[in-house]
Amino acid sequence: MRLSIRLLSALLAFVPVSYASAQTPMTDDAKMTLYTFDKDTDGQSACYDGCARNWPPYLGKAGETKGEGWTLIDRTDGTKQWAHKGKPVYLYFEDTKAGDVLGDGKGGGTWHTLTE
């Protein structure tokens, strides 16, 4: 019995603690996951045309507010896009229902789930 407890204790030492430290994905009002793109520069989107078809920008309107860390940036087509802590924010076209996180790590690891 002592050997079993020691073995179990030793094995548990190697189990990751990811359940306790997992971060919650941030979502839009429809509970769809939001993403950031490594190729963006603070306050400026690099995702247009085909990129924006796959990664629709999370759009807002002048005068709207979302709280601390959120701002609206100007896109080249005249629309306003939400940015979080300076990073433009997007949705992903293959996320079809609330809770989907299919875009994380896409594009060779350049797309990331926005987390709290």
- In one-letter notation, the amino acid at residue 19 is Y
User: Taking the domains of the chain in order of start, what are their residue ranges?
Assistant: 24-113
CA 19-23-26 angle, 5° bins = 140
Is residue 11 a contact partner of residue 78, using CB atoms and an 8 Å limit? no
Measured distance CA(72)–CA(20) in Å, rounded: 33
Q: What is the pLDDT of residue 14?
A: 47
32-86 residue pLDDT tens? 999 999 999 989 999 999 999 999 999 999 999 999 999 999 999 999 999 999 9
Query: What six digits make up the tokens of 84?
Result: 């979080």
Please say if the pLDDT value at position 30 is more than 70.
Answer: yes
| pLDDT of amino acid 11 | 47
pLDDT at 114 over 70: yes
